[in-house]
Chain A
Amino acid sequence: MSELAVAMFAAETGAHLLAAPASRRYEAFARSFDEADCRRQLAGRGIRWVARRDDGYPARLRSIHDPPIGLFIRGAASLELLDRPSVAIVGARACSPYGSEVGTTFARRLAGAGVVVVSGLARGVDAAAHRGALATGVTVAVLGCGIDRDYPIAHASLAAEIEANGLIVSEYPPGVEPAPWRFPARNRIVAGLADATVVVEARARSGALITADFALEEGREVLAVPGEITSHLSAGSNALLRLGATPATDASDVLEAIGIESATAVVSEGRPADLSATAEAVKTLVADAPVGVDEIVRRTGLGASEVSAALVELELHALVTEAEGVYRGVIRPA
């Protein structure tokens, strides 16, 4: 049996196939299929193909109950990357600034500790995770469409950065259009490639919860980042916690879950900064809870201009971030 023939046939007929079907149509297709030519064409476009029975096929993915029959892969890294310790970071596409900040920070820490960060190249938390990981390490993106597509197109440059020293994988050959049903199928690969899945922000019925379900079915660790109980964007992730998911309040929680010693692995980022007195006072306030400039003005009695200047000083030291007019402290290792 040629796995490549099955994958190409599945793409052509729009079916989801994990093995060769017993149909006359497939037999006719397989007879006329020229595997060597197909491989040449893929190689010409810089795409690798690894079948389920090949040695290079990621072991973790092979062990799930419906592993893809093979993977199309592009990117500069070797396939061995897919067998390194790895964590999936997933969450809402329309995430809040909090979600995007947490996704970026976790991914940066995990990648810095040598963990491969896996996600789905979608908007929101996915993109934040890829970007965070790119800053300190490598990352893998799993597509829900043909391997040659950058979907969404707005992430084409992000995809190019991922390819430069990571991998982009898909179970679909070039030319396959994105379709709604392919994304849950993609999520099983995201969960399957990772030792643990971290749900950062998810609504009550979110694709990220599908990924978490797959991970649970395969007995992988699922962690969820606690969110505000009043925020709809955290309803799904908080529900996971209620069901017994491990709370992730720091990247070290994740490292611990996959058995990596965090104390040695986490790289310390930055020295205590030399701050002005105003900046120190403002920093203490922001560390308590996300807050706007006007409230800082009211609580400190400082002028709006001094507070604004102090916040820029803190931003330059990467101690606070601003989004939607609200400043919040950056999560740092204790």
Chain B
Amino acid sequence: MLARTVTHALVGLYPRRVEVEAHLQRGAPAFTIVGLADRACQEAKHRVRSGITSAELEWPRSRLTVNLAPAGLRKEGSGFDVPIALAVLAASGQLPADALAGHAAIGELALDGRLRPVPGALVAAEGARRAGLDRVVCAAESGAEVALAGIEPVPVPHLAEAVAYLRGLRDPPPAHAPPEPCPPPAHGPDLRDVRGQERARRALEIAAAGGHNLLLAGPPGTGKTMLARRLPGILPVLDDEGALEVTRIHSVAGVLPSGAGLVRLPPFRAPHHSASTAAIVGGGGGSGGPHVGEATLAHRGVLFLDELPEFARAALESLRQPLEDGLVTVVRVAGRATFPARFQLVATMNLCPCGARGVPGAACACSAQRLQQHRERLSRALLDRFDLALTVPRSRGEELAALPGEGSEPVRERVEAARQRLAAGAPPLSSPADALLTRAVERLPLSGRGRARVATVAATVAALSACDNVGVEHLAEALSYRAPQELTA
């Protein structure tokens, strides 16, 4: 007896159709899985066998071979458990022969027969929809995710219920409407908590409006990190296409909270400074080809690097490609993959290794050499990619005692208005502004790249003030956010 189920394996961020064939033949009882299955996938044998027995179904007493086709594609993970179990049940006549037609399946089996969600259900479901299938049998927790792909989910908590449904004993569960596309209320920490820091707040608003990369330098305890963490709260929510794209990536990486719908808020990723190059841009992953890194998880959102000079230099330099192209290409022995990585980079750094520099009255204990090393950790090429850079001085007591600042809500409204303006076309440079820029390039340390960046930032400043072209005041403000001279000297 032969039976087949369809599922989809993940190759990078894309689904690849996999047919699970189960074949029963006469001979001593045995269970073999073939088709380049990795270790987690080979262990499916034990889970499937226990799961079927726990669901009070019968484990076939004959020679059983399961093939995962195409045999040349590496399969990894536990998502093949459910399709294997269903194929085995169909091959042993415990499911009607045509019951599996039009169905895909994905999920892991617990030893007691329950279905567990697996990463990438959204992508697998998209593959099923494109393959023209009608329904996806999945764990109850994955139902919402599968529904996002525009295909009908069959969310079942237990293998026995899946069988009952496929035997026609139970109605298919009610079709899920995709979750409401309304912005979720929780926007994370609010700007209201930041007192004083007028200049840094303004820079944050400009960065949000223009999607600019932002570098905050300054002594510890000035609220650099606090400010940066409030950036997602003033960014516009993702549009439908963006939300689906981000949800897909997060689904594959397994960081999507179970039962959650579309990711509507721009992601905010803050890897620790001990992160490796592979963790930042993707890679590693062994048999299944490269995995996505933080740069991709931050796609359409914010990649936040706290204490920038503490990161490994190789990891930082690897960010140059995504910063330029919005993509990362990872090449490994196991394969090559290109992931989207269009993020906004926000970073903080101290002015010196001991942190005392920039604090009035504090004695910085760093030698000239250590200072130099601290600065040299960041290449000029990387610094050039920060459109806005500023030093955040330590707030004074009176400032901390000040009233709470403006909240995130009104700032987000201004940012959204500016984005709409910019989307219609960046305001052009007025001729006095152009003359000022030329004069500034002569007098201030600005590279050729710096000139273009200043002009872009100035356009954002003009858009924030709802002006149709870039005036001298907009350009002058943009010039004030160029890289601090102590970093570039």
Shortest CB–CB separation between residue B307 and chain A, in angstroms? 17
Could you tell me the dominant secondary structure of chain A's interface residues?
helix
B449-489 CB contacts (< 8 Å) to partner A: 461, 473-474, 476-477, 479-481, 484-486
Which of A9-17, A217-225, A304-312 binds B? A304-312
Q: Are B473 and A306 closer than 8 Å at their CB atoms? A: yes
Chain B residues closer than 8 Å to A294, beta-carbon distance: 196-199, 393, 395, 399
Complex interface bits, A287-328 against B, C-beta within 8 A gives 1, otherwise 0: 000001111011000011111111111011010001111100
Which residue from chain A places its CB closest to the CB of B485 in the assembled complex? A323
Q: Are B393 and A323 closer than 8 Å at their CB atoms? A: no
Chain B residues closer than 8 Å to A303, beta-carbon distance: 198, 202
The answer to whether residues A324 and B357 also contact, given A94-B367, A309-B480 and a CB cut-off of 8 A, is yes
Q: How far is the CA of A93 from the CA of B372 in the complex (A)?
A: 11
Q: How far is the CA of A324 from the CA of B399 in the complex (A)?
A: 19
Q: How far is the CA of A295 from the CA of B199 in the complex (A)?
A: 10
Q: Are B439 and A308 closer than 8 Å at their CB atoms? A: no
Chain A residues closer than 8 Å to B486, beta-carbon distance: 97, 323-324
A225-270 CB contacts (< 8 Å) to partner B: 230-233
From the candidates A122, A308, A312, A316, name the one contacting B199 in the complex (CB within 8 A): A308
From the candidates A122, A231, A307, A326, name the one contacting B393 in the complex (CB within 8 A): A326
The answer to whether residues A297 and B477 also contact, given A93-B367, A94-B368 and a CB cut-off of 8 A, is no
Chain B residues closer than 8 Å to A94, beta-carbon distance: 364, 366-368, 371
Q: Confirm or deny: B26 has a beta carbon within 8 angstroms of a beta carbon on chain A.
A: no
Q: How far is the CA of A315 from the CA of B482 in the complex (A)?
A: 13
The answer to whether residues A325 and B476 also contact, given A232-B363, A304-B199, A316-B439 and a CB cut-off of 8 A, is no
Chain B residues closer than 8 Å to A123, beta-carbon distance: 368-369, 372
Q: Confirm or deny: A179 has a beta carbon within 8 angstroms of a beta carbon on chain B.
A: no
Q: Are B484 and A322 closer than 8 Å at their CB atoms? A: yes
Q: Are B198 and A297 closer than 8 Å at their CB atoms? A: yes
Chain B residues closer than 8 Å to A315, beta-carbon distance: 443-444
Shortest CB–CB separation between residue B209 and chain A, in angstroms? 12
Which residue from chain A places its CB closest to the CB of B197 in the assembled complex? A294
Chain B residues closer than 8 Å to A324, beta-carbon distance: 218, 351, 357-358, 391, 393, 484, 486
Q: Are B476 and A298 closer than 8 Å at their CB atoms? A: no
The answer to whether residues A309 and B473 also contact, given A315-B444, A322-B485, A324-B486 and a CB cut-off of 8 A, is yes
Q: Confirm or deny: B361 has a beta carbon within 8 angstroms of a beta carbon on chain A.
A: yes
Chain B residues closer than 8 Å to A318, beta-carbon distance: 443
Q: Are A309 and B371 closer than 8 Å at their CB atoms? A: no
Shortest CB–CB separation between residue B334 and chain A, in angstroms? 42
The answer to whether residues A316 and B443 also contact, given A154-B372, A305-B461, A325-B391 and a CB cut-off of 8 A, is yes
Chain B residues closer than 8 Å to A307, beta-carbon distance: 199
The answer to whether residues A304 and B198 also contact, given A94-B368, A323-B485, A325-B393 and a CB cut-off of 8 A, is yes
From the candidates A292, A304, A316, name the one contacting B201 in the complex (CB within 8 A): A304
Q: How far is the CA of A315 from the CA of B481 in the complex (A)?
A: 13
Shortest CB–CB separation between residue B348 and chain A, in angstroms? 13
Q: How far is the CA of A293 from the CA of B393 in the complex (A)?
A: 9
Which of the listed residues A122, A295, A309 has the most CB atoms from chain B within 10 Å of its own CB?
A309
Q: Confirm or deny: B390 has a beta carbon within 8 angstroms of a beta carbon on chain A.
A: yes
A-B contacts counted at CB < 8 A amount to 103
Q: Confirm or deny: A137 has a beta carbon within 8 angstroms of a beta carbon on chain B.
A: no
Chain B residues closer than 8 Å to A313, beta-carbon distance: 476
Q: Confirm or deny: A124 has a beta carbon within 8 angstroms of a beta carbon on chain B.
A: yes
Which residue from chain B places its CB closest to the CB of A326 in the assembled complex? B393
A95-126 CB contacts (< 8 Å) to partner B: 97, 122-124
Which residue from chain A places its CB closest to the CB of B359 in the assembled complex? A324
Chain B residues closer than 8 Å to A297, beta-carbon distance: 198-199
Q: Are B477 and A124 closer than 8 Å at their CB atoms? A: no
Which residue from chain B places its CB closest to the CB of A297 in the assembled complex? B198
Shortest CB–CB separation between residue A231 and chain B, in angstroms? 8
Chain B residues closer than 8 Å to A97, beta-carbon distance: 486
Shortest CB–CB separation between residue B346 and chain A, in angstroms? 17
Chain B residues closer than 8 Å to A232, beta-carbon distance: 363
Q: How far is the CA of A154 from the CA of B375 in the complex (A)?
A: 12
Shortest CB–CB separation between residue A316 and chain B, in angstroms? 6
Complex interface bits, B55-90 against A, C-beta within 8 A gives 1, otherwise 0: 000000000000000000000000000000000000
B255-277 CB contacts (< 8 Å) to partner A: none
Q: How far is the CA of A254 from the CA of B220 in the complex (A)?
A: 39
From the candidates B364, B369, B390, B443, name the one contacting A325 in the complex (CB within 8 A): B390
Q: How far is the CA of A324 from the CA of B396 in the complex (A)?
A: 16
Shortest CB–CB separation between residue B472 and chain A, in angstroms? 8
Q: How far is the CA of A180 from the CA of B371 in the complex (A)?
A: 20
B369-411 CB contacts (< 8 Å) to partner A: 369, 371-372, 390-393, 395-396, 398-399
Shortest CB–CB separation between residue B405 and chain A, in angstroms? 11
The answer to whether residues A309 and B477 also contact, given A322-B485, A324-B357 and a CB cut-off of 8 A, is yes
Q: Confirm or deny: B131 has a beta carbon within 8 angstroms of a beta carbon on chain A.
A: no
Shortest CB–CB separation between residue B193 and chain A, in angstroms? 16
Q: How far is the CA of A304 from the CA of B202 in the complex (A)?
A: 7
Shortest CB–CB separation between residue A240 and chain B, in angstroms? 19
Q: Are B368 and A325 closer than 8 Å at their CB atoms? A: no
Q: How far is the CA of A123 from the CA of B375 in the complex (A)?
A: 14
Which residue from chain B places its CB closest to the CB of A124 in the assembled complex? B368
Q: How far is the CA of A297 from the CA of B481 in the complex (A)?
A: 16
Q: Confirm or deny: B40 has a beta carbon within 8 angstroms of a beta carbon on chain A.
A: no
From the candidates A124, A305, A323, name the one contacting B202 in the complex (CB within 8 A): A305
Chain A residues closer than 8 Å to B358, beta-carbon distance: 324-326
Chain B residues closer than 8 Å to A304, beta-carbon distance: 198-199, 201-202
Chain A residues closer than 8 Å to B436, beta-carbon distance: 316
Shortest CB–CB separation between residue A153 and chain B, in angstroms? 11
Query: Can you list 11 contacts pairing A with B, beta carbon distance less than 8 Å?
Result: A232-B363, A292-B199, A294-B197, A294-B399, A303-B198, A304-B199, A304-B201, A323-B486, A324-B391, A324-B484, A326-B391
Chain A residues with CB under 8 Å of chain B are 92-94, 97, 122-124, 154, 230-233, 292-295, 297-298, 303-313, 315-316, 318, 322-326
- Given A230-B360, A310-B476, 19 more A-B residue pairs with CB atoms under 8 Å apart are A92-B368, A94-B364, A94-B366, A94-B367, A294-B199, A295-B396, A297-B199, A298-B198, A303-B198, A305-B477, A308-B476, A309-B480, A312-B479, A315-B443, A323-B486, A325-B217, A325-B218, A325-B392, A326-B393
